[in-house]
Amino acid sequence: MSDIDIRKQGRAGHITLNRPEALNALSYPMCLALDAALIAWRDDPEVALIVIDAAGDRAFCAGGDIARLYAEGTAGNHAHGQEFWRDEYRMNARIASYPKPVVAFIQGFCMGGGVGVACHASHRIVGDTAQVAMPECAIGLVPDVGGSALLARAPGKLGAWLGTTGTRMGPGDAIYAGFADLYLPESDWPALIAQLCATGDTASIAAKAPPPARLPALQPQIDRHFAEPRLPLVLASLSADDSDFARDTLKALSKVSPLAAALTLALLAQHGPAPDLRAALEREYRITFRAQAQTDFLEGIRAMIIDKDRKPRWRHASAAAVPQAEIDHLLAPLGADTLTFTE
């Protein structure tokens, strides 16, 4: 059975991520197959829209296939990851600029690479079980797959908090933060997908009131503590606050890579008031291109996924120990290796 099911269904191109036993983690072959389908259907008159969903009830896609990235990276094959990220980011950009509607149905975990597939779609539907997050800092990476653009577009400084802490968002919060457009109970999805496929028309999509969001109430505290894009200043602000929010945020930040969190804040600070996705992907690639050799990425995967000892040996013991020169180097242009968006 294929890890990704790609077929025409009526007037729709229907793509189903089909690795439920692996929480539909996106492998390199899945990424290439998804992108090839989008290219093939772009000018196909029989295809009026694209439907993207996932098998199983636990996850839309819990992220990229980082176990494979770890195996290749620790073997010294950094080119595998560099090629994977390059082609994945091009696929992310294609979804965002696709000339036909792309309707994504998000249930369960939607994290990292899953966000890159679902959250750049033109119509992003979340169900009750949706848990959307960018938890890359916990494995020593930065929010990528265009996630930095999504985070930068979130209200106030919400993106800086979400990106550094990896906090999960339920359906109401995902809509509030701009990672989803509308809520629909998952029991209604089969009928809607059948109608989309039969008609090729998104007019049949009708939202229902989502569960309450909790993030609006936290917005003032988030904006105050994350006002400055430097991690030591954020930590100092949180440390001076005796609130539950500050304590919980400090605890979350204590578990992530100091380098990754500092890089995330610097990356988000580079965005203007209207973040451009392709520019975001190009900046993210500067970091991921270097990630296996020059960041905490491989150590983070070892500690969290491979050995599961949850005792990562980060490159820097604290936020204050992260040199600005290291941040600047990881964000520097790649020259001949710069990400482009040619097919």
Task: Evaluate whether 89 touches 339 at the Cβ level (below 8 Å).
Answer: yes
In this model, does residue 121 exceed pLDDT 80? Answer: yes
Domain ranges within the chain, ordered by starting residue: 4-135+165-204, 215-337
Task: Evaluate whether 130 touches 180 at the Cβ level (below 8 Å).
Answer: yes
Neighbours of 330 (CB within 10 A): 21
pLDDT digits (tens, 9 = 90+) for 270-291: 998 888 999 999 999 999 999 9
The CA-atom distances, in angstroms, between 89 and each of 93, 228, 282 are 6, 28, 8
In this model, does residue 164 exceed pLDDT 90? Answer: yes
Catalytic positions are 64, 113, 136, 144
Task: Evaluate whether 285 touches 89 at the Cβ level (below 8 Å).
Answer: yes
Is the CATH code 1.10.8.640 the one for domain 4-135+165-204? no
In this model, does residue 62 exceed pLDDT 90? Answer: yes
Chain centre to alpha carbon of residue 313: 24
pLDDT at 1: 58
How far, in Å, CA of 332 to CA of 286, rounded? 7
How far, in Å, CA of 208 to CA of 166, rounded? 27
SS3 category, 134: coil
How far, in Å, CA of 196 to CA of 268, rounded? 36
pLDDT at 274: 83
pLDDT at 301: 97
pLDDT digits (tens, 9 = 90+) for 321-341: 999 999 999 999 999 999 999
Task: Evaluate whether 260 touches 136 at the Cβ level (below 8 Å).
Answer: yes
- Would the pTM count as exceeding 0.85? yes
SS3 category, 59: strand
The CA-atom distances, in angstroms, between 306 and each of 100, 299, 309 are 40, 10, 9
- Residue 246 pLDDT class (50, 70, 90 cuts): very high
In this model, does residue 342 exceed pLDDT 90? Answer: no
What are the residue ranges of helices labelled H in 44-188? 66-74, 78-96, 113-118, 147-153, 158-165, 171-177
pLDDT digits (tens, 9 = 90+) for 172-184: 999 999 999 999 9
